Amino acid sequence: MSGDTSRGGAATGNERSDRGFDPAARLAERERQSLRRDLTPIADVTARAPIADDPGNAPPVFDGPEQLIFAANDYLGLAGDERVQRAAAETAREVGTGAGASRLVTGDTPAHRALERDLADTKNTERALVFSSGYATNVGVISALGPDVVFSDELNHASIVDGCRQAGAETVVYDHCDPSDLRAEMDERAGATPAGSDESWLVLTDSVFSMDGDVAPLEAICDVVESFGAWLMVDEAHATGLYENGGGAVQRAGLSDRVHVQMGTLSKALGSQGGYVAGSESLVEHLLNTARSFVFSTGLAPPAAGAAREALRIAREDDPHRERLWANVDRLRDGLEAAGYEVWGETQILPVVVGDRDDAMALDDCLRDRDVVAPGIRPPTVPAGTSRVRVAPMATHTEDEIDRCLAAFREAGRELELV
């Protein structure tokens, strides 16, 4: 019969179709749009280190000067702390270097359980559950809850956005950090919902926003959420460990009993790897049965769990790390503003907003020329007209290093006529 095809063959008389992919063309398009990025290896995870050019598949060569790193999320500098490193090594010896399996099989170890008890105590909840990453936590938790409708802050992290997509929920985006707009959106949805509907609603917000450095008005958001009988999930990735007793912004505001789902990471202020969710006993039991990114992933490596637990212990104590971090934040913010820069936010994340994307990337380059690493951030990561250099000091930066960073900003700003 005309047009018949054999298994694996092409239709008679037709030329072969190319149904593959062309990564090189896609890379060229990113290059044309000035969006291509490289991997630039760093010699070690500290406040100061040499950085190599991207070597491709070859070993990195660290032959340049030491750079001051104002680009990491290791806010307390605990990734290089000897106590944390020792805890990781001891856990590796006692438990193993890897979990070996999903935690529902044989990968659930004493290291995981001890960390989860401490996290639950810190977050003032009944239980906590540790995932392999913060990204996996958000995607797994949101999709496992399976809300009918989510109300999401417009600047929420990409992992929250992807969690909403995987959940298949109708997503309503409300204006950034605006409880009034959240209430208006929920009012509108309530008016369009038939009486007696059992539709489930989940409100999602970061606590500290990673690009703007601001804090969600959590108490006002709780008021709105409660007035509609909805649930609230707060992402504490950039807040965990930075406030009293090692808590996040939820604890600082005294709202532990009003936030149904508290999520966070172990890879930022706690200097390790992984993510966690904290809440009620029934919530955790539900998630460990249904969150696919937990069920079908090998458990977090035990040394990472041991390191995170020790870092949390340090953060919960009256440790000088936290005091030094906030002193560095104040010194840097005051100096940048005195130099003529516009600095947004109110946290340890200092966005130096210059507006134009080319100016932001030129400032990034000029700072690197002066051995300061602070990344330029441009659309689509941030809205058009708000390109910036994101500055993130660490507790382990010295006053002299903060002053060197400020001097680099002043010199680069004058060179580029930005200040």
Torsion of CA 339, 249, 210, 270, to 10 degrees: 100
Per residue in 189-233, pLDDT tens?
A: 999 888 778 899 999 999 999 999 999 999 999 999 999 999 999
pLDDT-derived band of residue 1, with 50, 70 and 90 as boundaries? very low
13 pLDDT higher than 70: no
Let me know if 123 is a catalytic residue. Answer: no
Q: 133, 152, 210, 297: which is the annotated catalytic residue?
A: 210
- Examine the residue annotation and report whether 238 is marked as an active-site residue of this protein: yes
pTM of structure? 0.93
Using CB atoms within 10 A of its CB, is residue 251 exposed (0-12), middle (13-18) or buried (19+)?
buried
The one catalytic residue in 112, 123, 157, 238 is: 238
> Which one of the listed residues 123, 157, 260, 268 is annotated catalytic?
268
DSSP letter for each residue of 79-114: GG-HHHHHHHHHHHHHT-SS--SBTTTT---HHHHH
Percent of the chain scored above 90 by pLDDT?
A: 91
- Does the pLDDT value for residue 237 go beyond 90? yes
The vertex-237 CA angle with 39 and 36, nearest 5°, equals: 25
CB–CB of 39/54 below 8 Å?
yes
Asked whether the predicted pLDDT for residue 4 surpasses 60, the reply is no
Please name each of the domains of the chain with its CATH number: 34-79+320-415 (3.90.1150.10), 82-316 (3.40.640.10)
Give me the pLDDT at residue 400, please.
98
Per-chain mean pLDDT for the chain: 94
Lowest-pLDDT range of 19-33, 82-96, 167-181, 276-290: 19-33
CB-CB contact of 172 with 187 (8 Å) = no
Residue 210: active-site member: yes
Question: In this structure, what token pair is assigned to residue 185?
Answer: 């959106």
pLDDT tens for each residue of 83-94: 999 999 999 999
DSSP letters, 337-363, are HHTT-EE--SSS-EEEEEESHHHHHHH
